[in-house]
């Protein structure tokens, strides 16, 4: 999802559309329309607007650990300097799947998916060698217990 600069202007129908598609991203627009009380065309336009503006995206989500010998890790990084500039740079890395600014011990937290332990070690070495990263701590994920994206729009 692309970063937004402020809260999106959503009405109750937008919020309902988002919640329905979070429950079932393959729900036909005809069914969404019946639930929301709009035409299929209106739903199609709203979904297009919500995806074009980065409010939501409709994707298939996998468990990388179930796809073979992959290594997933959460990384906490303390940044020296502009955290947004560092985040912009990190977001371009293929291995980075999720990236947020945080308030606490780490300035940034991000999830990476590496091919194996060697790849993860190389990635950590590269991160720790950057001038803009003061510290990078990895938390290797051993098993996925829960993964939902039902944050809603309320």
Report phi then psi at 61, rounded to 5: -110, 135
Of residues 125 and 144, more confidence is placed in 125
Is 62 or 56 the better-scoring residue by pLDDT?
56
Cβ atoms of 111 and 96 within 8 Å: the answer is yes
Q: Is 140 helix (H, G, I), strand (E, B) or coil?
A: strand
Residue predicted with more confidence, 137 or 62: 137
- The string of DSSP letters for 48-64 reads HHHHHTTS--------G
Contact of 137 with 74, CB cutoff 8 Å: no
Is the pLDDT at 17 greater than 90, yes or no? Answer: yes
Q: How confident is the model at residue 4 (pLDDT cuts 50, 70, 90)?
A: very low
CATH 3.30.70.920 fits 64-141, yes or no: yes
**What is the pLDDT, as a whole number, of residue 74?**
96
CA distances from 16 to 3, 39, 111, 117 (A): 22, 14, 29, 42
pLDDT value at residue 58: 86
Segment 98-120 shows an average pLDDT of 95
Q: How would residue 151 be classed by pLDDT, with cut points 50, 70 and 90?
A: low
Per-residue tokens: 117: 């332990």
More confident residue, 150 or 25: 25
SS3 84: helix
34-38, 53-57, 93-97, 127-131: the lowest-pLDDT one: 53-57
Instruction: Assess contact for 74 and 109: CB atoms under 8 A.
Output: yes
Q: Give me the architecture of the 12-52 domain, per CATH.
A: Orthogonal Bundle (1.10)
pLDDT in tens, 134-147: 999 999 998 888 77
Sequence-separated (6 or more) residues with CB below 8 Å from residue 119: 71, 95
**What are the residue ranges spanned by the domains of the chain?**
12-52, 64-141
């Amino acid at each position: 999802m692309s970063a937004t600069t402020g809260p999106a202007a959503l009405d109750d129908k937008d919020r309902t559309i988002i919640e329905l598609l979070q429950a079932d991203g393959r729900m036909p627009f005809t069914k969404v329309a019946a639930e929301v009380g709009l035409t299929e065309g209106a739903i199609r336009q709203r979904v297009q607007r919500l995806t074009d503006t980065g409010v939501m995206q409709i994707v298939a989500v996998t468990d990388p650990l179930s796809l073979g010998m992959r290594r997933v890790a959460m990384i906490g990084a303390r940044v020296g300097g502009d955290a947004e500039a560092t985040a912009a740079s990190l977001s371009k890395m293929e291995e980075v799947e999720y990236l947020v600014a945080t308030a606490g011990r780490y300035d940034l937290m991000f999830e990476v998916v590496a091919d194996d332990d060697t790849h993860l070690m190389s990635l950590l070495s590269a991160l720790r060698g950057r001038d803009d990263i003061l510290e990078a701590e990895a938390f290797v994920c051993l098993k996925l217990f829960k993964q939902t994206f039902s944050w809603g729009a309320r």
